[in-house]
Amino acid sequence: MTDKLNSYRNQPDEHGHFGTYGGRYVAETLMPLVLELEREYKAAKADPAFHRQFEDLLEHYVGRPSPLYYAESLTAKLRQDAPEGKGAQIWFKRDELNHTGAHKINNCIGQILLAIRMGKTRIIAETGAGQHGVATATVCARFGLPCVVYMGATDAARQQPNVFRMKLLGAEVVPVQSGAATLKDAMNEALRDWVANVDDTFYIIGTAAGPHPYPELVRDFQSVIGREAREQLMNRTGRLPDMLVAAIGGGSNAIGLFHPFLDDRDVAMLGVEAAGHGLDKEHAASLTGGAPGILHGNKTYLLQDEDGQITEAHSISAGLDYPGIGPEHAWLKENGRVEYTSITDKEALDAFQLLCRTEGIIPALEPSHAIAAVAKRARDMDQDQIILANLCGRGDKDIFTVAEALGVDL
């Protein structure tokens, strides 16, 4: 496969396909809009003024570049249980230090600049954990655009702090009652809003999924993570990492970290899905436990039954609780460039506490899945090897969920 490809970085094709995945599976009402967005994104990509504004906001508003941090204490802790000479160095790309506390803001800055370019005057978004909703509400406040955020009622209940944050930022939060009232249902409702308000509304999708060109443009906006990390690690150590690790719900922080490294053949990559209660029980691991299908505008791996009905995902992390995955990950799984694994709720909770205690960093439950995978892999790697993981969000929003899971009454 490798020999047939000149590069892993030249996807999607002109029709928005990543191999057989991706595409534009939307209702006809939305097709002209999606095509217009594609034209506008092409123009923006070629416009130095667009890039200048994007980069200026990332630097001065978001606080980029985010630090690259050598987690010396965690590394030492994991070496205690590792075989002699084993225990890779663990480095974190600290996107949890971004304004709003996660990587989501990178993408929202890019998309709202596109929305303004297109003359749109109203913004909608879906959110799971609320991080993307908060990031969207934030950029809407900054640019003075009205914002409606669709959020599954179940998620809204377990992420009350983020619901309140969005409201403080001036957004209208609409709890969605249909289905299991989580992320996919929020996305259905956002699509219903969009199709009824095509003239004035821009849909800021929160992950590298949906109809073309969303997977591409979200990836491009998030790729600042990998570009910075590559340069920072080169500057600090003079070498590339041996392995990249990132958590995957829809997959935007992972593709943002991975994409700039895809053609560095010696850099291994590990995407970490949410195994929930276990892969044989309820989970949210579309790649490891799903099958290809069509949902929410793209062809990709989905949790579904034999009739193509979408099954409910489960994860302790609301941000990973989605039965699909960005189409570029489906393609990267199929060609073998990226390895995908999964981590259970319990393992993620353990890793959450491990990072709190060893590094004084409270991670979000999403990157806690990545940290759990890092801990497993590090012990089999040599001490001079480097694992670079994306710490894509901070855990303040999750303390209530964690307290409940640990049986602590706040």
Q: Would you count residue 76 as binding other proteins (CB under 8 A)?
A: no
Query: For residues 263 and 17, what is the distance between their CA atoms, to the nearest angstrom?
Result: 19
C-beta closer to other proteins: residue 98 or 304: 304
Inter-axis angle of helices 224-237 and 214-222, nearest 10: 30
Q: Interacting stretch for other proteins, rule CB under 8 A, among 60-68, 157-165, 245-253, 291-299? A: 291-299
Residue 122 C-beta: closest distance to other proteins, Å: 14
**Tokens at residue 345, please?**
């709720």
x/- site string to other proteins, residues 365 to 404, per CB under 8 A? ----------------------------------------
Q: Would you count residue 310 as binding other proteins (CB under 8 A)?
A: yes
Residue whose token pair is 């209208």 = 172
Pick the binder of other proteins from 84, 266, 280, 306 (CB under 8 A).
Answer: 306
**Tokens at residue 5, please?**
């490809």
Query: For residues 410 and 326, what is the distance between their CA atoms, to the nearest angstrom?
Result: 36
Pick the binder of other proteins from 71, 112, 275, 295 (CB under 8 A).
Answer: 295
- Find out whether 103 and 207 touch, Cβ atoms under 8 Å: no
Q: Interacting stretch for other proteins, rule CB under 8 A, among 75-83, 179-187, 263-271, 344-352? A: 179-187
Residue 309 C-beta: closest distance to other proteins, Å: 5
C-beta closer to other proteins: residue 296 or 369: 296
Residue whose token pair is 């990709």 = 300
Residue 204 C-beta: closest distance to other proteins, Å: 17
Question: Among candidates 199, 145, 196, 198, which has minimal Cα distance to 172?
Answer: 145
SS3 for 49? helix
x/- site string to other proteins, residues 233 to 272, per CB under 8 A? ----------------------------------------
Using CA atoms, how far residue 264 sits from 12, 55, 82, 189, in Å, is 19, 25, 28, 40
Q: What are phi and psi of 326, to 5 degrees?
A: -55, 140
Query: For residues 245 and 272, what is the distance between their CA atoms, to the nearest angstrom?
Result: 7
The H or E element spanning position 402 is: helix 399-405
- Find out whether 349 and 357 touch, Cβ atoms under 8 Å: no
Q: Would you count residue 198 as binding other proteins (CB under 8 A)?
A: yes
Residue 179 C-beta: closest distance to other proteins, Å: 7
Q: Would you count residue 31 as binding other proteins (CB under 8 A)?
A: yes
Pick the binder of other proteins from 87, 276, 290, 293 (CB under 8 A).
Answer: 293
Q: Would you count residue 26 as binding other proteins (CB under 8 A)?
A: yes
Query: For residues 322 and 295, what is the distance between their CA atoms, to the nearest angstrom?
Result: 11
Q: Would you count residue 5 as binding other proteins (CB under 8 A)?
A: no
The type of residue at 28 is: E
- Find out whether 160 and 193 touch, Cβ atoms under 8 Å: no
C-beta closer to other proteins: residue 101 or 326: 326
Q: Would you count residue 14 as binding other proteins (CB under 8 A)?
A: no
Q: Interacting stretch for other proteins, rule CB under 8 A, among 46-54, 109-117, 303-311, 354-362? A: 303-311
Pick the binder of other proteins from 19, 146, 170, 179 (CB under 8 A).
Answer: 179
Q: Interacting stretch for other proteins, rule CB under 8 A, among 26-34, 331-339, 371-379, 380-388? A: 26-34
Query: For residues 30 and 213, what is the distance between their CA atoms, to the nearest angstrom?
Result: 13
Query: For residues 130 and 152, what is the distance between their CA atoms, to the nearest angstrom?
Result: 10
Residues that bind other proteins (CB under 8 A): 15, 23-33, 178-179, 184-185, 187-188, 191-192, 195-199, 293-297, 299, 302, 304, 306-310
